[in-house]
Structure 1
């Protein structure tokens, strides 16, 4: 095969990724090489089943986290893990959680328990007292404004779920190579192909939002005086 005939890699479209998320599938999301330079598995939180959590634990090997809006985390009284975030990327972890045994969770660590905790967290009837702290699910507070304010996997997960018309929360897990090192774009491309997953970039998601989002809203209508009168 000559150099001219070598296939050129192209990220999947955001619309294709949204369709997969809406269908309950997981996708690969890659950030900028000058940021974390990592890829995460992301699924819509409302579709986080035990099988999905197990796939992330076995096939991605990273930390399984729950990206959520600040409003919902405030409703559940889940404060930041630390008040002074010194992490370079300003990842806003809250205290970790498990749902209680009265809600069907035992030790909290099994795939079934973690999936159950996620669903309990999304349930609008859940109260702060229904969640044990610390636990085995790690909520992360997405910045208001999403990827337009912070180009992270946390914001991408919430934005993608919202754009898919789903509950605005996502489950994310960093993808590691089998030897424990972090998978970079060349490995992530092979990974996505092997598992038949859509792969997108946060840069493309930012462009998509800039093209499709309504960023200016009419708050009030009034008549202002001018040289021509009211």
Structure 2
């Protein structure tokens, strides 16, 4: 059974202003631009449990289309989604898992199909048989059990959990419009957010209020 999209109530939490704005945007629910200034990368992020075809289409349009679902490891363990065997290049606080599609989504590649897959991954009632493997949504295990969040996936999970919803974040890396063969850097990502009317937040701004996100970052 597919979980119905919901607008989560946002808890009162001591966040840096832009981090708080990002949590509010995700809870409405809207995409946000999450920036890693140190790596000079950015991602478009959604709360997976509130993913809709229209918002997933925004991710597809402005990213490479390689969409991921970041989550604490307990979720893929419960759903029996194994870790990918190709782990040699992964950052130290994440593991890539096998990709999945929700059962009944056809080819699984459309924005509507992937929205269903995101919502089902975020459904606490989901069971292993609700997914086919491999599919078109890459699962990412966020292993961080300390502060601050190290990578974009870890920060995305922290923000989504701060909305009060299931801590599953849908994301894709933002592609550069100046050079469509590459990814957008931090400066271009902020320009994109202003132009599109989206909230932008950096991982550094999350670190400023690290203790306030302790419960959000820990799996």
| TM tier relative to shorter chain | 0.7 to 0.9
Unaligned runs of 5+ in 2: 1-15
Deviation at 1:52, TM superposition (A): 0.9
Does the C-alpha gap of structure 1 residues 67 and 214 become closer, same or farther in structure 2, counting only changes over 3 Å? closer
Q: Provide the aligned length of Structure 1 versus Structure 2.
A: 197
2:8 alignment partner in structure 1: none
Does the C-alpha gap of structure 1 residues 88 and 46 become closer, same or farther in structure 2, counting only changes over 3 Å? closer
Q: TM-score normalized by structure 2?
A: 0.83
Equivalences for 1:202-217 in 2 at 5 Å? 202-210=203-211, 212-213=212-213
Looking at structure 2, the residues matched to 59 and 154 of structure 1 have their Cα atoms a distance apart, in angstroms, of 18
2:194 alignment partner in structure 1: 193
1:16 alignment partner in structure 2: 21
Asked whether the 8 Å contact 1:153–1:172 carries over to 2, the reply is: no
How large is the RMSD of aligned CA atoms in angstroms?
Answer: 1.9
Larger Rg over CA atoms = 1
Looking at structure 2, the residues matched to 150 and 86 of structure 1 have their Cα atoms a distance apart, in angstroms, of 21
Question: 133-142 vs 61-70, which deviates more?
Answer: 61-70
Q: TM-score normalized by structure 1?
A: 0.79
Unaligned runs of 5+ in 1: 1-10, 216-230
Residues 123-150 of structure 1 show CA distances to partners (whole Å, capped at 9, x for unaligned) of 222211221100001110011426x264
After TM superposition, which residue ranges in structure 1, 4 or more long, deviate above 6 angstroms?
none
1:39 alignment partner in structure 2: 42
**SS of aligned partner of 1:115:** helix
Looking at structure 2, the residues matched to 208 and 182 of structure 1 have their Cα atoms a distance apart, in angstroms, of 28
Deviation at 1:170, TM superposition (A): 0.7
Equivalences for 1:23-102 in 2 at 5 Å? 23-33=28-38, 36-82=39-85, 85-87=87-89, 89-90=91-92, 91-101=94-104
Does the C-alpha gap of structure 1 residues 149 and 207 become closer, same or farther in structure 2, counting only changes over 3 Å? closer
